[in-house]
Amino acid sequence: MTKQIEIKVPDIGDFSDIPVIEVLVAAGDVVDAEQSLLTLESDKATMEVPTPVAGTVKQVRVLLGDTVSEGDLVVIVEAEDVAESQEAESVEAEKPEDKPASDTRPAPATAPAIPPRPQALSARPAPPSTGSRQSPPVPMGAGRTLPGKSPYASPAIRRFARELGVDLARVNGSSRGGRIIREDVIGFVKSVMTGSAAPASSGLGFELPPLPKVNFSRYGDIELEPLSKIQKISGSYLHRNWVRIPHVTQNDLADTTDLEAFRKDNAAKAMEQGFKLTPLVFLIKASVAALKKFPTFNASLDESGENLVLKKYFHIGIAVDTPNGLVVPVIRDCDQKDIFELAAELLDISQRARDGKLKPVEMQGGCFSISSLGGIGGTSFTPIINAPEVAILGVSRASVSPQWDGEAFKPRTMLPLSLSYDHRVIDGANGARFIRYLAECLENHESMDL
Ligand code: CAO
């Protein structure tokens, strides 16, 4: 048998007109006995109003921000399996026609998602009828817990967070005074699932303050554009790599005047085969030569962080800019391919990357990556290491500039190179040696196995 039970604000001491700071249920919700329905907050304390019975919420008679006092009707619950003894205590909820003349609150025919705002809720009503059932309020403590000491959240939110395994210390509260509400916990879980939340315990020896929450529409028109799936995935990996790897970026210039002449001489041959011969294939070859000379660059730290895994193969990842974001397909065995084979493969993977047709396996197993922005411009940048690799080469746009040859300034084509390396594995001197050697390979292209 079911009965409608009025839940009223219980004895809350000497307080009246207390703001409702959380409405934890809506019409139609199924609630357990002792489940919190509302959170009230006075200047001195925060407390919850639980339901004494399990059942279904029929009406919620308050809205967020309303003020209530002892005895105010706040929720009507249709109780299940009410025992005989309890039935005696419970009363049926007032039907609209039964309502006293003073109560002008509209009673919806069906339970609305957002109930009509009750009138005169702040006016002290008659004492609770004997038929109403109350559980004592659940205080949060004599005063609020200040943000920064421990998370400021109601017991219901703490329970909700516990159920989801969320550490409230990591959640930013968006409500008044930094209080954490249900939406904050849900937002946090979403950000963890999409990889945009900070790591649980950074283990980095420092904690960062949260990013500011800004309502940009206060300053002008805006529109929301969701990040692509690739952006979300690569964004979290880039963030991880940037934060977890101590990067150093070493810049250098390679004189590619002679190489450019050689490239142009061979451009027609490449075009006959249907692809362009860009500087990138020579950079792949120079990288292979430098990796052979400096094996610690062709390595990864193992899981313990105590050993280097030295690789005997030369698979080079190429950062490709696609309409959906950055991807890094890997060209395998670059030491065994000539510049024409590399150019053909480069065209193939960059086309398929842009068409979203790369297989996951084609983006795995790289030893070292190249990010070339030379087709666009720039003079230098800091590429982010593609873990578990330990170094990455950034390439900017070559330009002709006067270079002093000991006797005179000569116009030379200079290619800017930026090498980021993992300083846990590679020291600064070797970083400088690696990029200089790579530049010399480009400057003396005959020395390379093209
Ligand atoms: N200096 C001067 N010119 C250069 C150059 C350089 N370093 N590198 C390329 N060029 C020229 C090419 O020769 C080509 O000239 P033509 O049109 O006259 O033939 C033009 O620039 C365009 O080259 P490209 O970009 O199409 O070809 P590529 O082989 O250099 O690069 C690819 C291929 C797939 C790597 C590139 O298209 C790309 O996506 N680059 C972006 C990578 C990226 O986003 N990196 C950032 C990662 S971090 O967010």
Q: How far is the CA of 284 from the centre of ligand 1 (A)?
A: 13
* Residue 296 per-residue DSSP state: G
Residue 60 Cβ contacting ligand 1 at under 6 Å = no
For residue 395, the ligand 1 atom closest to its alpha carbon is 7
Nearest to 8 by CA among 75, 58, 57: 75
- Who's near 93: CB < 8 A, 6+ residues apart? 4, 5, 6, 58, 59, 76
What is the domain range of residue 7?
2-89
Is residue 303 exposed (0-12), middle (13-18) or buried (19+ Cβ within 10 Å)? Answer: exposed
Q: How far is the CA of 140 from the centre of ligand 1 (A)?
A: 61
Residue 321 Cβ contacting ligand 1 at under 6 Å = yes
Residue 284 Cβ contacting ligand 1 at under 6 Å = no
For residue 245, the domain's CATH number is 3.30.559.10
Predicted local distance difference test score (pLDDT) of residue 123: 29
- Can you name the residues that pair with 57 across neighbouring β-strands? 77
Mark which of 55, 72, 89 sits at the end of a domain: 89
Q: Is 156 contained in some domain?
A: no
Q: Is 361 contained in some domain?
A: yes
User: Rounded CA gap, 287 and 434, in Å?
Assistant: 9
Mark which of 36, 61, 89 sits at the end of a domain: 89
Q: Is 168 contained in some domain?
A: no
Q: How far is the CA of 331 from the centre of ligand 1 (A)?
A: 16
Residue 125 Cβ contacting ligand 1 at under 6 Å = no
Output the residue whose Cα is nearest ligand 1's atom 7. Answer: 374
For residue 62, the domain's CATH number is 2.40.50.100
Q: Is 347 contained in some domain?
A: yes
User: Rounded CA gap, 262 and 266, in Å?
Assistant: 6
Residue 418 Cβ contacting ligand 1 at under 6 Å = no
Q: Is 212 contained in some domain?
A: no
Least confident of 146-155, 182-191, 379-388: 146-155
Pull the structure tokens for residue 308.
């280097």
Mark which of 35, 62, 89 sits at the end of a domain: 89
The phi-psi region of residue 365 (left if phi > 0; otherwise alpha if psi is between -120 and 50; otherwise beta) is: left
Residues 23-77 have pLDDT tens digits of 888 999 998 888 888 888 776 667 888 899 999 999 999 998 889 998 999 999 9
382-414 in b/e form (b: 16+ CB < 10 A) is ebbbbbbbbbbbbbbebeeeeeeeeeeeeebbb
CB atoms within 10 A of CB 157: 27
- Who's near 318: CB < 8 A, 6+ residues apart? 280, 284, 328, 329, 330, 331, 346, 349, 350, 369, 370, 372
Nearest to 7 by CA among 48, 43, 66, 41: 48
Q: Is 292 contained in some domain?
A: yes
Residues 252-300 have pLDDT tens digits of 999 999 999 999 999 999 999 999 999 999 999 999 999 999 999 999 9
Nearest to 419 by CA among 257, 273, 249, 205: 249
Active-site residue flag, 423:
yes
Residue 397 Cβ contacting ligand 1 at under 6 Å = yes
Number of domains within the chain:
2
Q: Does residue 364 carry a pLDDT above 70?
A: yes
Pocket test for ligand 1, best of 231, 256, 280 (most atoms within 8 A of CB): 280
- In the predicted model, what is the mean pLDDT of the chain? 83
Least confident of 76-90, 101-115, 363-377: 101-115
